[in-house]
A and B are shown apart, each in its own frame.
Chain A
Amino acid sequence: MNSKNESKAANNKKNFLGLYLEGDETVYDLAIDDDSAFKELSEIEESLHGAIKYENSKYLDSLLDEDSLLLENLDIAKAKSRISKEKNKPLPIYLQNYMNADIASQKEKESDKLVIRFGKAGMKLLGSFFGESLITPLELTIPSVRNSINTVPQSISMLEKTEQGSLVYQVIQENENEAYLSVKFDASFVAIYNQVNLRKDNRFIYSSNINSEGLVSFSGLKEGIYNIEFTGKNASKRFDLSLFADKL
């Protein structure tokens, strides 16, 4: 009896999948009326979207090792048919703001910079541009942040290695509109730099001494471009922190 039921269930399942693949809209009517049909529909759709997502990621990875003119031609043709003003997704406002701010700053020389988006969806490192230095994302465990109501990432940490030594930058989302920045120098830097100046959108806003442990922090940072400059008797080092709020 059990095996009969199992085989009936298997047949129904096959029929449902068959109907879905045929493009028969009755599967959606069934899904509205019946929870198990909704579950089945979700599983099919999820499997398809998952397969598309992972296959595409695998394809992009494969291009790092093996590319060809045929694959390039197919991708370019795909772009031509799928990208147009009518079909495009709009550019997020924070990216527009990033470009506007960057164009307005008109710097002669590019600074080292971290570009971070924050907001309801958590923090996202959009870019780190540190010239010749090696900059690496760090994995930090911060119970106080993990304790938050959100499950989204709320802290970003980067390690910069230079010839003089290394620095750890950490940016924490304090709330939807504000972030906290701390910079930790290793011992070799403490001897070189003793003061830090903070500017926002080219205006001086704060100056502080670097403590003996080589730790500097700023809280309440709102959206904008911050320039952080470390100075000592014979040296100076600066970087830009671009913070953009994603107002969902």
Chain B
Amino acid sequence: MKLSQEEIFALVQSCANGNADSLKKFFEEFSEDIYNFPIRVFHLEEDDASEFFIYAYERLKSGKRFQTFVSKSGFKTWLYTVLRNMLIDWKRNKRELKIVSSVKVNSDGVEYYSIENEPDLKSDMQKEADSISSRFQDALSEIKIESRIIFKLAYIYYLNLNAEEIEYLIEKTGLSKEELQAEIISIRDSLSEKEMHILESEDKIASIYMNILDLKQQQEKEKPIVFNDNLPNYDKIQISIDKKYEQRRKLIEKKNKGNFISRTPYRVIARILQIPEGGVSISLQRVLEKIQKKFIKYEI
């Protein structure tokens, strides 16, 4: 049921007073939006979105947060601003929550505390996994800013510009902050007008590759583990990876094959940066080759 603006304002006010029925109705109406916020805006995986959902639900359910709503800002603007702030808090909490190593359990299932005579392989593996992740995260920062911006503008539907890139763009194009903001919003809006079946395919393919990336990360962690009673986990992960590639192959065979990563047309990027379209195409190709090298180095 679609609520009118007046009904939404009344609902939010009632939630702010802690009315249990109104809060129930609010979550019936908007829980899907809360769950989708980190997925659609920050491209978080569904598992993390679930964790964030519980975090947000626990903080919204008392109704106190609703007292910050001012009707002139618009309901959706208010809701997404609250969720964005919560997401940043959630991320900060996660960063501060360090995993500690303490009790261990031996092969008989008995707990023991002594670790002096045993190197802590898992901590080292965690560090290694972190370094893999940061190597990927650095992939774009190692590319020259002018090429990086072309790549980011090409995939601006998914990516975000950082402060340095915004500054560079403003200087290079002569656009004001407001004009640049309007330009990016306009590109994203035009790319988001996709049909439902295209969106579903995009989600499906993104999920296949996210799983592959996770499995590869897991595989990397498994490499040094030696347990006397351990089955070959490494091989099992490889089987799962192969299955995911097979899924992608089947999607292509089903003629469900198109390019499901939305790219900004070259002419739009060329217009913003005042460079020839051919220059955009060549730069983009070079950047992608460089990124690919990072991933291939990791035996993808």
Which residues of A are at the interface with B, using a C-beta cutoff of 8 A?
14, 17-18, 20-23, 25, 28, 31-32, 38, 41-64, 66-68, 70-83, 85-92, 94-96, 98-99, 102-103, 106, 115, 117, 121, 124-127, 129, 136-144, 146-147, 149, 151, 157, 159, 168, 184
Contact = CB atoms under 8 A, between A and B. Distances in A.
A95 B103 contact: no
Contacts of B252: 28, 31-32, 38, 41
A54 B139 contact: yes
Interface string B44-88: 101100110111011001000000000000001100110110011
B275 interface: no
Nearest to B196: A86
16 contacts: A17-B288, A17-B289, A21-B285, A22-B281, A28-B257, A44-B292, A46-B295, A49-B205, A50-B291, A61-B95, A64-B88, A83-B36, A89-B203, A95-B31, A99-B57, A136-B98
B33 interface: yes
B114 interface: no
Given A117-B50, A136-B98, A151 B122 contact: no
Contacts of B37: 79, 83
A51 B159 CA distance: 9
Nearest to B212: A46
A95 B53 contact: yes
Contacts of B97: 136-137
B80 A75 contact: yes
Question: Chain A interface mostly helix, strand, loop or mixed?
Answer: helix
A143 B257 CA distance: 43
Interface string B216-258: 0010001000010111010011001000010011001100011
A64 B93 CA distance: 10
Contacts of B47: 121, 124
B284 interface: yes
B105 A60 contact: no
B109 interface: yes
Interface residues of B, number: 114
Across the A-B interface, the 9 shortest Cβ-Cβ residue pairs: A28-B257, A49-B209, A82-B40, A127-B54, A79-B80, A54-B136, A56-B43, A81-B192, A54-B137
Nearest to B281: A21
B299 to A, nearest CB: 11
B51 A72 contact: no
Nearest to B189: A81
A99 B137 contact: no
Contacts of B218: 151
A151 B233 contact: yes
Contact of A143 (B105, B240, B285): B105
B117 interface: no
A99 B51 contact: no
A87 B32 CA distance: 10
Given A48-B261, A75-B80, A92 B181 contact: no
Contact of A140 (B35, B103, B151, B233): B103
